[in-house]
Amino acid sequence: MALKIISSQCSGCSACEPECPNVAIREKNGTFVIDPAKCTECEGQFDSPQCLAVCPVDGCIKKV
Amino acid sequence: MSHTAFVSIGDLRRGKAAPGRVVEAAAGGCSTRGAAGKASCGSSAGPDDMPPAIWEKVKNHPCYSEEAHHHYARMHVAVAPACNIQCNYCNRKYDCSNESRPGVVSQKLTPDQAVKKVLAVASEIPQMTVLGIAGPGDALANPARTFETFRRLNEHAPDIKLCLSTNGLALPQYVDEICRYDIDHVTITINMVDPVVGAKIHPWIFWDHRRVTGLEAAQILHEQQMKGLEMLTSRGVLTKINSVLIPGINDAHLIDVNREVKKRGAFLHNIMPLISEPEHGTVFGLAGQRGPSAQELKAVQDACAGGANLMRHCRQCRADAVGLLGEDRSDEFTLDRIDRMEVVYDLDRRRAYQDKVERERQAQHQAKVDALAEAGNADAPDDGMRVLVAVATEGHGKVNQHFGHATEFQIYEVGARSAVFVGHRRVDLYCRGGYGEDEQLPSIVHAIGDCHAVLVSKIGACPRDELTAAGIEPVDRYAHEFIERAVLDWFSHYRQRVARGAIVHQPRGDARIRQGAYCGGTGVAAA
């Protein structure tokens, strides 16, 4: 259970990084990546995954 | 020349004594119908027209003072990439070095890199007096990076004025911090005061760990914007309100916006045309939502006259722009170039240079006032006729640019007694290396199509004929004269020619606002 950032879609805006309650997001070569080992999809923490809710690019963050 | 039409900024200061109260600041007095030669806006008034504390804040801020923008430079540092709302006119992914519009940058900077860049630019361009954080996202959606940059600039470059730009959503929670770093200019983008309108512009906001959409989102955004504006006013922070004019969505509504922001003490209102082309990839661009024509923009701006002061000289800068408004020298200050620069931040040298700029500016102002007094248009009979005139200028308040070298024209609305700056029109450069580019000419004619004349220092035979055929009179007999005096004199001759039947006065049509990539004058602007 984890989310994935499609790097070709990512604008590198960094909005998702500080919102992640699990500190699972970091910058890599100008775009951002989610550590699947840390990602909980915010279950039990928030109503919806925070990165998904703040990301300005539709379709950039997907469930894997 | 008196600036008595400007009456109201004192109310702003009175508001400072009553925190938390909605300040009924009559921030009007834009004086678009002011005395002869009075420039566009209250913000172009002099030290006699406003409390000294306010004058100190605006006198060398190019965005807050119409006159200052000819003399002082600003820069933006792109340390704030994240945003907390979505706007249908924004797509920050689109970046092109020939592109000039907000929300677009070439290099995102860390606070470290930003401070280094500011010091490098301030050493190289001593008239750079203002540093803004305007994105490319929202300054307050990146609070750590934004305030770290401000904190360190306070320390290393205490003479630089700091400002920031925000959509207002997070503004109330950061007002204290804004005051702590002595940020005395804040721009809030406010496109609506009615959530029904807002929902058509802002599809969602990120709020309290949720993506909120529709009316609820617009309502929250509206409340936060109004609250933030009131809080800033009550603390004496100068505010500028940016509004994007979107035909069919908020054009008439912006008059309500103007009234509401004036009521809450906004210092300036900047109504900007929507920039929207399909290739920008914005929701509006892809949906075919058009931007306003020059006359549509002017109609809304004129309808707001008497409300909050209008800013007419905005160039819609990029989030990483460097230099005077209308020019961009950011290419000279890329990260690798800064690395190779020897940066000496010499406060005394900067002060000395700025004193010189200030003396030149005052001398120029006085010369203009004298020239106008001598021309004696103040007593001319005024029957209310107004026409627009385009002017090619390289600065110093004079008609001093060759038609073929202009990358923008200043537009003046002239009557028998008054010449008022009402905006500028960007155009593609017509002349390269001594040869005119004939395919550029029609677009220039379109850009000033609502003008009766164009005043230039010089013009070639071919564009002269084409402009004449289009009904725009090319005029080169005022080379190196002060603009206001030149347009008033041209107008009085125009009236005489109409009166004796030599020409027939005809109303002009509309003009097109230049959209998209700025390809024409980048070489000149960077020079």
**Distance of alpha carbon B176 from alpha carbon B195, whole angstroms:** 27
**Distance of alpha carbon B152 from alpha carbon B148, whole angstroms:** 6
Of A15, A47, A50, the CB nearest to B141: A15
Of B83, B144, B209, the CB nearest to A15: B83
Identify which of B19, B109, B26, B117 has the alpha carbon closest to the alpha carbon of residue B75: B117
State the pLDDT at residue B397.
83
Q: What is the pLDDT of residues B455-510, one digit of tens each?
A: 999 999 889 999 999 999 999 999 999 898 899 999 999 999 999 999 999 888 88
State the pLDDT at residue B48.
60
**Distance of alpha carbon B89 from alpha carbon B292, whole angstroms:** 13
Contacts of A46 in chain B (CB under 8 A): 209-210
Is it the case that residue B100 has pLDDT exceeding 70?
A: no
Banded model confidence at residue B358, pLDDT cuts 50, 70, 90: confident
Six token digits for residue B220: 């929250």
Banded model confidence at residue B91, pLDDT cuts 50, 70, 90: confident
CATH class of segment(s) A3-63: alpha beta
**Distance of alpha carbon B444 from alpha carbon B432, whole angstroms:** 15
Q: What is the pLDDT of residues A48-57, one digit of tens each?
A: 999 999 999 9
Strands (E), chain A: 3-5, 25-28, 31-34, 61-63
**Distance of alpha carbon B86 from alpha carbon A54, whole angstroms:** 9
Identify which of B372, B364, B383, B451 has the alpha carbon closest to the alpha carbon of residue B412: B451
Of B82, B209, B211, the CB nearest to A13: B82
Write down the domain spans for chain B.
Answer: 10-340, 379-526
CB-CB under 8 Å, A14 with B82? yes
Identify which of B164, B167, B169, B165 has the alpha carbon closest to the alpha carbon of residue B211: B169
Answer for the pair B515, B297: CB distance below 8 angstroms, yes or no.
Answer: no
Identify which of A21, A9, A7 has the alpha carbon closest to the alpha carbon of residue A56: A9
Lowest mean pLDDT across A31-40, B113-122, B236-245, B432-441: B432-441
CB-CB under 8 Å, A48 with B210? yes
Banded model confidence at residue B307, pLDDT cuts 50, 70, 90: low
Write down the CATH number for the domain with range B379-526: 3.30.420.130
Higher pLDDT among residues B44 and B178, named by residue: B178
Q: How far is B326 from chain A (nearest CA, A)?
A: 27
CB-CB under 8 Å, A56 with B86? yes
Other CB atoms within 10 Å distance of the CB of residue B106: 16
Q: How far is A47 from chain B (nearest CA, A)?
A: 8
> What three-state secondary structure class fits B517?
coil
Region B148-152 average pLDDT: 95
Higher pLDDT among residues B207 and B81, named by residue: B207
Q: Look up residue B380 and give its DSSP letter.
A: S
State the pLDDT at residue B7.
25
% of chain B with per-residue pLDDT over 70: 79
Question: Highest mean pLDDT: which of B230-244, B277-291, B415-429?
Answer: B230-244
State which CATH number among 3.20.20.70, 3.40.50.720, 3.90.70.10, 3.30.70.2700 fits the domain covering B10-340: 3.20.20.70
Write down the domain spans for chain A.
Answer: 3-63
Q: Which residue of B has its CA nearest to A53?
A: B211
| B216 Cβ contact partners less than 8 Å away, ≥ 6 residues apart | none
Answer for the pair B483, B391: CB distance below 8 angstroms, yes or no.
Answer: yes
Is it the case that residue B521 has pLDDT exceeding 80?
A: no
**Amino acid identity, residue B400?**
N
For B436, the enclosing helix (H) or strand (E) is strand B435-436
Write phi, then psi, for B284 (nearest 5 degrees). Answer: -65, -40
| B429 Cβ contact partners less than 8 Å away, ≥ 6 residues apart | B404, B405, B406, B407, B437, B440, B520, B521, B524
**Distance of alpha carbon B242 from alpha carbon B270, whole angstroms:** 5
Answer for the pair B89, B273: CB distance below 8 angstroms, yes or no.
Answer: no
Higher pLDDT among residues B503 and B225, named by residue: B225
**Inter-CA distances, B252 with A17, B221, B304, B363, B427, Å:** 39, 20, 10, 41, 27
**Amino acid identity, residue B442?**
P
Higher pLDDT among residues B318 and B160, named by residue: B160
Higher pLDDT among residues A5 and B40, named by residue: A5
Answer for the pair B146, B133: CB distance below 8 angstroms, yes or no.
Answer: yes
Q: What is the pLDDT of residues B246-258, one digit of tens each?
A: 999 999 999 999 9
Write phi, then psi, for A30 (nearest 5 degrees). Answer: 90, -15
Contacts of B86 in chain A (CB under 8 A): 56
- Tell me the three-class secondary structure of B104-131, residue by residue: CCCCCCCHHHHHHHHHHHHHHCCCEEEE
> What three-state secondary structure class fits B254?
helix
In total, chain A counts a number of residues equal to: 64
Identify which of B165, B175, B7 has the alpha carbon closest to the alpha carbon of residue B90: B165
DSSP characters over B211-246: EEEHHHHHHHHHHHHHHHHHHHHHTT-EEEEEEEE-
Is it the case that residue B338 has pLDDT exceeding 80?
A: no
Chain A stretch 24-43, residues whose beta carbon is closer than 8 A to a beta carbon of chain B: none
Higher pLDDT among residues B136 and B371, named by residue: B136
State the pLDDT at residue B349.
83
Banded model confidence at residue B12, pLDDT cuts 50, 70, 90: very low
**Distance of alpha carbon B210 from alpha carbon A45, whole angstroms:** 12
Of B81, B84, B211, the CB nearest to A14: B81
Banded model confidence at residue B35, pLDDT cuts 50, 70, 90: very low
User: Which residue has 């996202």 as its token pair?
Assistant: B137
Q: Decide if A59 touches B, using CB distance below 8 A.
A: no
Is it the case that residue B339 has pLDDT exceeding 90?
A: no
Banded model confidence at residue B284, pLDDT cuts 50, 70, 90: very high
State the pLDDT at residue B16.
33
- Using the Cα atoms of residue B264, residue B270, residue B271 and residue B272 in order, give the sign of their dihedral: negative
Q: What is the pLDDT of residues A15-28, one digit of tens each?
A: 999 999 999 999 99
Higher pLDDT among residues B272 and B370, named by residue: B272
Answer for the pair B186, B178: CB distance below 8 angstroms, yes or no.
Answer: yes
Banded model confidence at residue B389, pLDDT cuts 50, 70, 90: very high
Q: Which residue of A has its CA nearest to B142?
A: A15
**Inter-CA distances, B326 with A29, B279, B284, B491, Å:** 33, 23, 25, 28
> What three-state secondary structure class fits B208?
coil
Is it the case that residue B264 has pLDDT exceeding 90?
A: yes
Contacts of A50 in chain B (CB under 8 A): 209
Six token digits for residue B272: 């900007």
> What three-state secondary structure class fits A33?
strand
Strands (E), B14-155: 73-76, 85-86, 128-133
**Distance of alpha carbon B163 from alpha carbon B351, whole angstroms:** 20
The mean pLDDT of chain B is: 80
Six token digits for residue B521: 């004058």
Region B148-171 average pLDDT: 93
Is it the case that residue B208 has pLDDT exceeding 90?
A: yes
